Structure 1
Amino acid sequence: MAVAELDLDLDGPDSPDGPVLSFGPALGGPPPGAGDIFALVRLQGRPAATVLGHVRADEDPAEVLTAVFRARKSPYEPPAPAEPVLAAPAPAEPARPATALAAPPRTTVVVATRERAGQLARALDSLLAQDHPDFRVLVVDNAPVTTATRDLVESRYVGRVDYVQEPCPGLAVAHNCGVAAADGTVIAFTDDDVIADPHWLTALTTPFAADPGLGCVTGLILPARLTTSAQILLESHGGFAKGFEPRLYDPASPPADEPLFPFTAGSFGSGANMAFRAEALRAVGGFDPATGTGTPAKGGDDLYAFVRILAAGHRLRYAPEALVWHHHRETWQDLRNQAYGYGAGLTAYLTAILVRRPALLPALLAKLPRGLAHARAITAHRPDPAVESAPGTHGARAHPWPRDLSRLERRGMLYGPLGYLKARVRVRRQARSAALGKPRIRRRAVRGRS
């Protein structure tokens, strides 16, 4: 089963005569003559919703999907204002909203990768097409076993992309390597399996210029392909998206609708689309090297960083206009591994927070009963298969979440603390090897933007 994808702009500056479809680098060619189509709807160029519509061979996809969207938006509404919807009442001195007049700061984009040169090239092409005025792209080649990544950068992106090698495996280690090599005010992170919307980096980094107290910004992640049952299932239950409403999380005014704040870090965003004020990230020690993909902890490096930034008093903003298209895992086994890894990463990052910031233990213990209930809810009760989903969406009724995936997530949650402790042992061994004179990191740079 495959679902075609497209981009539908209802009233953007380039569509004065009505809705216009586009396909872009992530979305492939035109949709088939008939079938299901998953569309991102934009209003005035900003992401507003996703819809799913069935289009017959004799129908205009733009008309069908516009009707589906307007049926969901009853009555049809103009786009939301540019200001974020606050997650809590505004503090005494609210942050200024990002505006088009604020110039995005100098940024380094870090892309950690391991033996996926084909996917990396696709990601780099989209990054080099960004409309941001002042940025640098840095590839971190993590524990490579071949020279494929280095050869790609040196042959195809010489003078445009920087390259650094980190021999110790682990996503957090690779990200810390990127932090050490980065320059500029902001450090942005994305993955080698995404395609960035041309306005992604500008939308992700401009808020830092408008709000000096902002420590982190995350963005919207949508599927680049929906061609397999596993991909459709994941996206039908939310995927990586965190919605289309801007949101500001302020530790000085905890959100009333998130009593577990800030320990529900999964609601803030994901590592494939995040940026940090460089000074703030370095001040909290960067990412915990015993977390993340490629370690026994299996994940949690991004969640750890979100909580550390908030615990240090910085604000975190979710900006849905900062969009990347993510290539979801394709097979059922991939999805099983992902479910287990997410569960492990959740409790691994909580363990990391308590090990490295014991002062947060009282706050966590006070919220632990509700936290356990929340953890059970997010793994056991995806949208109820018995409840009819909204028209025009990938509904849970058609794609119920398998119970074995929920069980795998819970098993991962039980394993997470042990995985983190195993990873810490490995990090210590690597540190001892480095202290004995063995080189921990070898760098070879290809200079890029200045």
Structure 2
Amino acid sequence: MAVAELDLDPDGPDGPVLSFGPALGGPPPGAGDIFALVRLRGRPIATVLGHVGADEDPAEVLTAVFRARKGPYGPPAPAEPTPAKPTRAAPTPAEPVREAPVREAPAYGAPAPPAAVVTAPPRTTVVVATRERAGQLARALDSLLAQDHPDFRVLVVDNAPVTTATRDLVESRYAGRVDYVQEPRPGLAVAHNSGAAAADGTVIAFTDDDVIADPHWLTALTTPFAADPGLGCVTGLILPARLTTSAQILLESHGGFAKGFEPRLYDPASPPADEPLFPFTAGSFGSGANMAFRAEALRAVGGFDPATGTGTPARGGDDLYAFVRILAEGHRLRYAPEALVWHHHRETWQDLRNQAYGYGAGLTAYLTAILVRHPALLPALLAKLPRGLAHARAITAHRPDPAGDPAPGTHGARAHAWPRDLSRLERRGMLYGPLGYLKARIRVRRQTDGRTQPRGEAQPRGEAQPRGEARVRRRARVRRRTSGGR
């Protein structure tokens, strides 16, 4: 399936324009499916999926699909955020989950808003944590260096490297344009904290080494900080760069990482009445591949919990922890869909299984971190616990395969049944998360005290090890036993 962008500029002389920029590869040869981001005068407003015949014009087909769903298009809607509403309401345990967590931009045919005062984005450091993925990193860095932001710096954090590939890449291909920091302790949160410590400027933005950033991404992500001094965090839109495997298509058909096309503002001083779990539904705020923080606010809450995140026994939750801590301190959080990155989803079924388990573990690990490090939040969490358990059960439920065309809110992708084994893995991850977090805390404490050096960690139950790695581990154990433990 090809990935494209469809620009519906009604003022342009040539009508809708279709481009295939972010994907690796071009349009499908002859007939094929195309997943397209729809823009109106450059602003992301929706996604559509269309099948293009061998003799059909792809732009015309996708425009017709969009019009059939949304009607005639006009000037874009106001870009000001609306009061936050949940991505989907927390259902009761008996209620099936059928709605994917993405919505279209509202009222795209409404009159254009008055011209806003242009505010210059603040000085920003972009932190990219990476580990032994120099090829992907180069692709991400190329897109970051092409940003239209007027004042930014790119910083690569090489996390627990085993080779010099990342350092060699930065110091040769990007010398003088990208800064390099090495963090020997494993863990995404540790790497992010190292990047934050080395950052300068008002804002610190974070993204991953497997994304391609839209040229306007950093400007859209950081400009809101200049307009709102009470803003502590901004997150943005994440869409797939490729949809070439069944695992990638399945993930995206159930929402992927996207949080919709409507700007939203989360204000702890005025909690959304229709989101009873706020602020503990941190997954609805955004994702770590596309987030920025006011530097002083992030440092004031102690940064990221080093016992969370990929590369630790906790398996994830570092971004969720930071979102909740920022809101708990009274700062506002904004979701800005104009801040777009294209993400390279995991390609294999085993990758998707690992991801499902990790999401479940990261969810309960971050909640455990909140309670352990900030017990004053316990009463608020306990009051929301019954609804939270129902919500957790619902989001990991088996999703039936809806018949017919995708309904509004399904992210423009055809629906596919969510395998029951992925739901079970996610729930098993949830059970493991608190234990994983406690293991990670012990490891962090030992590393801090200097008693042990960082070591590679075993995979938790529920996730298969790569066969080669497992074989090496077994042989090493046999050698130790036969050599008397040496």
Fold agreement, TM-score > 0.5:
yes
Greater radius of gyration (CA): 2
Residues 105-137 of structure 1 show CA distances to partners (whole Å, capped at 9, x for unaligned) of 000000000000000000000000000000000
C-alpha contact 1:140 1:178 (8 A) present in aligned 2: yes
How far 1:399 moved relative to its partner? 1.1
How far 1:391 moved relative to its partner? 7.6
C-alpha contact 1:112 1:174 (8 A) present in aligned 2: yes
Q: Are the structure 2 counterparts of residues 190 and 392 from structure 1 closer, same or farther at C-alpha, using a change threshold of 3 Å?
A: closer
Bigger mean CA offset, 108-117 vs 378-387: 378-387
* Alignment partner, residue 102 of structure 2: none
Residues 206-259 of structure 1 show CA distances to partners (whole Å, capped at 9, x for unaligned) of 000000000000000000000000000000000000000000000001112211
How far 1:32 moved relative to its partner? 2.3
* Alignment partner, residue 290 of structure 1: 307
- TM value normalised by structure 1: 0.89
How far 1:396 moved relative to its partner? 7.9
How far 1:389 moved relative to its partner? 2.6
SS of the residue aligned with 1:433? coil
SS of the residue aligned with 1:372? helix
Q: 2:239, 2:10 → 1: CA distance?
A: 19
Q: Are the structure 2 counterparts of residues 423 and 137 from structure 1 closer, same or farther at C-alpha, using a change threshold of 3 Å?
A: same
Q: Are the structure 2 counterparts of residues 116 and 432 from structure 1 closer, same or farther at C-alpha, using a change threshold of 3 Å?
A: closer
Q: Are the structure 2 counterparts of residues 439 and 382 from structure 1 closer, same or farther at C-alpha, using a change threshold of 3 Å?
A: closer
Q: 2:277, 2:462 → 1: CA distance?
A: 40
Residues 19-60 of structure 1 show CA distances to partners (whole Å, capped at 9, x for unaligned) of 011222445323422110000000110001000000001111
5+ residue gaps in structure 1?
none
Q: Are the structure 2 counterparts of residues 5 and 334 from structure 1 closer, same or farther at C-alpha, using a change threshold of 3 Å?
A: farther
Bigger mean CA offset, 391-400 vs 47-56: 391-400
5+ residue gaps in structure 2?
81-85, 97-111, 447-458, 477-483
- 1:310 partnered with 2:341: no
Q: 2:87, 2:394 → 1: CA distance?
A: 25
* Alignment partner, residue 130 of structure 1: 147
C-alpha contact 1:289 1:427 (8 A) present in aligned 2: yes
SS of the residue aligned with 1:27? coil
SS of the residue aligned with 1:41? strand
Q: 2:427, 2:22 → 1: CA distance?
A: 37
SS of the residue aligned with 1:189? strand
Q: 1:39, 1:414 → 2: CA distance?
A: 37
Q: 1:231, 1:378 → 2: CA distance?
A: 19
SS of the residue aligned with 2:236? strand
5 Å-filtered alignment, 1:170-189, equals 170-189=187-206
Q: 1:91, 1:44 → 2: CA distance?
A: 42
Q: Are the structure 2 counterparts of residues 139 and 166 from structure 1 closer, same or farther at C-alpha, using a change threshold of 3 Å?
A: same
SS of the residue aligned with 1:409? helix
C-alpha contact 2:232 2:293 (8 A) present in aligned 1: yes
Q: 1:260, 1:418 → 2: CA distance?
A: 23
Q: Are the structure 2 counterparts of residues 158 and 408 from structure 1 closer, same or farther at C-alpha, using a change threshold of 3 Å?
A: same
* Alignment partner, residue 462 of structure 2: 433
Q: Are the structure 2 counterparts of residues 342 and 200 from structure 1 closer, same or farther at C-alpha, using a change threshold of 3 Å?
A: same
SS of the residue aligned with 1:440? helix
C-alpha contact 1:2 1:228 (8 A) present in aligned 2: no
How far 1:7 moved relative to its partner? 6.4
C-alpha contact 1:291 1:348 (8 A) present in aligned 2: yes
Q: 2:236, 2:418 → 1: CA distance?
A: 25
Number of corresponding residues: 445
How far 1:68 moved relative to its partner? 0.4
* Alignment partner, residue 449 of structure 1: 485
C-alpha contact 2:280 2:381 (8 A) present in aligned 1: yes
How far 1:431 moved relative to its partner? 24
SS of the residue aligned with 2:336? strand
- TM value normalised by structure 2: 0.82
How far 1:390 moved relative to its partner? 2.0
